[in-house]
Structure 1
Amino acid sequence: MRSDVRSVRSGRQQIYLTVPGSQISGGLTLDFQMSLLEPGRTVESPFAPKKIGNTVFRVERKILLEGIAPRLPMLPVSFADHGIVGSESSLWWLRLSTHDLTASASSAIWLWLNVDNPFIVRMLEVPDSPESEMWLRFLEIDFMRQLLREALSNDELSLQVPYPEESLGCVLSSLVTLLGNSLDQLRQRYQEDPGRLEAELQAKVGGVK
């Protein structure tokens, strides 16, 4: 996302940038840069920028949006609004906003929680209850199971590609290496006995906390 300011007045100046909340999660990096558009007629200092495009000033700020603890990217949604018949019986929906493996995982992966379901509503309203904790634990395991399915069905995923940190490709490849070192072997095992591979995943991520 980019915001261009064509001129800078003398004195104090404020720049505003609107960021769509549905496209960000976890962390936000702001990179502010001022570049030379027109060289001055007289330049006294040999260190002053002279060419168009020269960087005059640059600063970067990183902001944590949701704390530093890992969490599921959950979003309450009415499934009835998305045309699902009998939506009150549905629980959640793993939705990828993009399949670009270099995209940020925090903006690409969303777990939609169905607010038409009374169990989900109670889990959201009273998250500390024993029932809600049980549902949340089951949700976490199922979330990983569905991510594994996405990883094994993505023909472009490769364990040899150094995907950017916290990208969709990085998350999917890390999940694959949790179960083995060969993507082809895992795909073969999943075809032969998907239940066993999912049970191994449960043993990896479903331990008592």
Structure 2
Amino acid sequence: MPGAQLGGTLTLDTQLVLAGFRASDAIAAPRRGGSILWTRRRSLRLQGDAPQFPIAVVDFESTHLPAESAWHVQLSGDLNTATMGAVLLLVNQQKKSIVTAFQNAASPRPIDRVYLSAAYADIARSMIEHALADLDFELENDYPEESLGATLQNLLATFFPNVSVQNLRLRREQSPNLFATEVQAAVGIFEEA
């Protein structure tokens, strides 16, 4: 089947149906053949439909990035830009174990989980730092759905519920290292490893 036809949402309807007539004295018992006894609907997003984090594997030696880095989170555009166009994770192709971890992300080995957890925490920290550095960013602002601003709002609401942007900015300014550690704790680094 062509890949273009595999995108979208697959909806599976499962039904338990009475095969034929059944005599019963119970008032609520099904009697007619074809009566639906149970039903369940499940929807599954297929590869082409579900949002995915944009990742590119590149040789850091051919870029301005430090050649020994494992990855780099690139954030660009304003807060109304679509997240998929504003965020890019660059993975250093020279770091084979990291590349393999991302390739195995759907079914990671124990070592892959460690690498992915570290990357996840660093990506979250980078995105939170980006939000706090942009003085136009506020939790109360109305950003388009799936925009960078909306994604950052969701990220902060997930990891720092009921904490104002001003409070987070102040904590970050007063002690950047402690704030980075707070992000690690909020993200739950290595909990899945």
The two structures have a TM-score, normalised by structure 2, of 0.64
Q: Percent identity?
A: 30
Match for residue 206 of structure 1?
Answer: 188
Shift of the 65–167 alpha-carbon distance from structure 1 to 2, 3 Å rule, reads farther
CA RMSD between the two structures: 2.7
1:188 aligns with 2:188: no
**8 Å Cα contact 2:53-2:84 kept in structure 1:** no
Q: Which runs of 4+ in 1 moved over 3 A?
A: 63-68, 124-127
Q: Give the count of matched residue pairs.
A: 145
Shift of the 164–123 alpha-carbon distance from structure 1 to 2, 3 Å rule, reads same
1:132 aligns with 2:112: yes
**8 Å Cα contact 2:128-2:152 kept in structure 1:** yes
Match for residue 16 of structure 1?
Answer: none
Secondary structure of the structure 2 residue equivalent to 1:76: strand
Question: Partners of 2:99 and 2:79 in 1: how far apart?
Answer: 32
Deviation of the 1:84 alpha carbon: 3.8
Partner amino acid, structure 1, of 2:152: L
Question: Partners of 2:83 and 2:46 in 1: how far apart?
Answer: 15
Question: Partners of 1:170 and 1:156 in 2: how far apart?
Answer: 13
Match for residue 121 of structure 1?
Answer: 99
Partner amino acid, structure 2, of 1:114: N
How far does the alpha carbon of each residue in 1:69-119 deviate from its partner, in whole angstroms, 9 at most, with x for none? x6532211111221445x1x1111111242x11111122111110102233
Q: 1:76 aligns with which of 54, 57, 63?
A: 57
Partner amino acid, structure 1, of 2:125: R
Secondary structure of the structure 2 residue equivalent to 1:201: helix
Pairs within 5 Å for 1:56-205: 66-68=48-50, 71-84=52-65, 87=67, 89-98=68-77, 100-124=78-102, 127=105, 128-177=108-157, 178-179=159-160, 180-205=162-187
Question: Partners of 1:129 and 1:108 in 2: how far apart?
Answer: 30
The two structures have a TM-score, normalised by structure 1, of 0.59
Shift of the 174–84 alpha-carbon distance from structure 1 to 2, 3 Å rule, reads closer
Partner amino acid, structure 2, of 1:175: L
Any gaps of 5 or more consecutive residues in structure 1?
Answer: 1-25, 28-62
